[in-house]
Amino acid sequence: MVTGGARGIGAAITGILTARGVRVTVLSRTPQTLDVPCDTVSADVADPEAVAQAFRLATDRSGPIHILVNNAGQAASAPFLKTGSELWRQMMAVNVDGVFHCTQAALPGMLAAGWGRIVNVASTAGLTGYAYVSAYCAAKHAVIGLTRALALELASKGITVNAVCPGYTASDMTQQTIENIVAKTGRSAEQAVAALVEHNPQKRLIDPEEVASAVAWLCLLESQAITGQAIAVAGGEIM
């Protein structure tokens, strides 16, 4: 199961897993038609009842879920004193609650099988701080904390739990960030991109396929010893 698996990083993850012979179900908020062979279900990851129903449908079609990629997420920026409770809850609901609900739905099948892979797509914002995205940073830090705690709880069960932490990636989410910078500062799109990659030693946006490759590696049988890790895919920005 790949949540948010129809666009951006999620689509890249769906593509690489299906290419390697994994039967993938994509969970998205709205029905999607994809170019790769996969099943689809619809749910808002912040809605526990909708998530439970979507996972039941997926397992009825394909059997128990052995790999869960919690990729669905949202980002929004605002100065801290202009971050209202609605924005705060939105960031927590999608980025943290969604991981919680989907993991609870998938875990019983993994425990019954004695094998599983859970990969949470977090962010470098879960490893460091960024100005004007305090709610998003807090949410992604929470995802990494959950990753580490659950990895310890499941370490003897044949189930690994890891996070990948992309830097600014060439995706729809980053494009929205670029557009916001242009609108608020009057900079050009090129200047906005330059500002985003300023602290990346490679001075570039990350390709979604690079993130997907890290996810696929963590799902291998041979990656059993890798658990509780938060792996930055960020061109050396975070060390």
- The catalytic site residues sit at 136
Amino acid at residue number 57:
L
Q: Are strands 39-42 and 230-233 parallel, antiparallel or unpaired?
A: unpaired
Token duo for residue 70: 């919690």
Alpha carbons within 13 angstroms on the beta-carbon side of residue 79 total 3
Q: Residue 158: which residues within 8 A CB-CB, separation 6 or more?
A: 110, 113, 114, 115, 116, 224
Distance CA 118, CA 106 (A): 9
Could you give the C-alpha distances from 217 to 114, 120, 149, 210, 220, in angstroms and in order?
19, 13, 21, 11, 5
Distance CA 227, CA 115 (A): 13
Q: Beta partners for 78?
A: 133
Q: Beta partners for 42?
A: 28
CA torsion sign for 61, 67, 70, 71 is: negative
